[in-house]
Amino acid sequence: MDKIIFATSNQGKMDEIKMIMEGFPMEIISMKEAGIYALIDENGKTFEENAIIKAKAVMELTGCITLADDSGLEIDYLDKEPGVYSARYLGEDTPYSIKNKTLIDRLNGVEGSDRSARFVCAIAAALPNGEVLTTRGTIEGIIGYEEKGKFGFGYDPILYVPEYGMTTGEMLPEDKNKISHRGIALRMMRDKLFDYNSK
Ligand code: IMP
């Protein structure tokens, strides 16, 4: 059976994609399971560019269909910062309590829908024939006035989702997974790959 590689070393993402791709007629394996250890420079300007860079690099090493993702938080008032620099914002090792407080402070005086923001996830599939497919999923919200919630990670305590009346950090993980930007993008990619596979 042909294999699809997911270019990540994050086990949580692997578990999520394996669950979403259940029933797909190709096995999904991680870079580790494929025996690939590549350090890829994510120097793209958009989530899609970064996902494509990673997916192409691993596809070129293996010849297999390769998926990769890139995600982050976009705040409209800050010209979409921290964006593709979400993990690196204020330094990779800076605690998120500081990153979150800094972003809240930078929105001082900004009210209501002007605080609009979203989690974005782009997924790219690099195919051996050189074709590239991309999908994008989002969770739309506004930046809260203080951190709230003990679930999740990263910027979860500051993205308030009006539809649910809470931040993603207050959502039970199983509830957040149902609406997650990564889940949306992955399911869209699964459907695109099904179409591609049945051509
Ligand atoms: P990566 O795509 O795994 O490199 O994630 C990029 C960064 O975006 C993470 O380190 C977080 O700072 C942020 N991020 C992405 N998705 C989420 C989320 O669901 N909750 C909180 N922060 C997130």
Contact 45, 74 (CB under 8 A): no
Whether residue 197 is predicted with pLDDT greater than 80 in this model: the reply is: no
User: Is 70 an annotated catalytic residue?
Assistant: yes
Give this prediction's pTM: 0.93
Ligand 1 atom nearest residue 176's Cα: 19
72 alpha carbon – ligand 1 mean position (Å): 5
Residue 80 has a CB neighbour count (10 Å cut-off) of: 16
Ligand 1 binding pocket mutation candidate from 155, 168, 175, 176 (most atoms within 8 A of CB): 155
Q: 54 alpha carbon to ligand 1 midpoint, in Å?
A: 16
Q: Which residue has the higher pLDDT, 22 or 192?
A: 192
| Alpha carbon of 154 to ligand 1 centroid (Å) | 6
169 lines ligand 1 (CB under 6 A): no
Q: DSSP class of residue 136?
A: E
Percentage of the chain beyond pLDDT 90 is 77
pLDDT above 70 for 70:
yes
pLDDT at 41: 84
> With a 6 A CB cut-off, is 141 part of the ligand 1 pocket?
no
The predicted-structure confidence for 96-125, as pLDDT tens digits, reads as follows 999 999 999 999 999 999 999 999 999 999
In angstroms, what CA-CA distances link 43 with 36, 53, 165?
20, 8, 36
pLDDT the model gives residue 50: 97
* 137 within ligand 1 shell (Cβ under 6 A): no
With the most atoms of ligand 1 within 8 angstroms of its CB, the residue from 71, 100, 176, 182 to mutate is 71
Indicate which residue's Cα is closest to atom 17 of ligand 1.
72
pLDDT band at 25 (very low <50, low <70, confident <90, very high): confident
pLDDT in tens, 130-180: 999 999 999 999 999 999 999 989 999 999 999 999 999 999 988 998 899
What's the average model confidence in pLDDT over 52-74? 95
Mean pLDDT (whole number) for 21-48: 89
Is it the case that residue 39 has pLDDT exceeding 90? no
Q: Which of 53, 15, 11, 18 is nearest to 32 (CA)?
A: 11
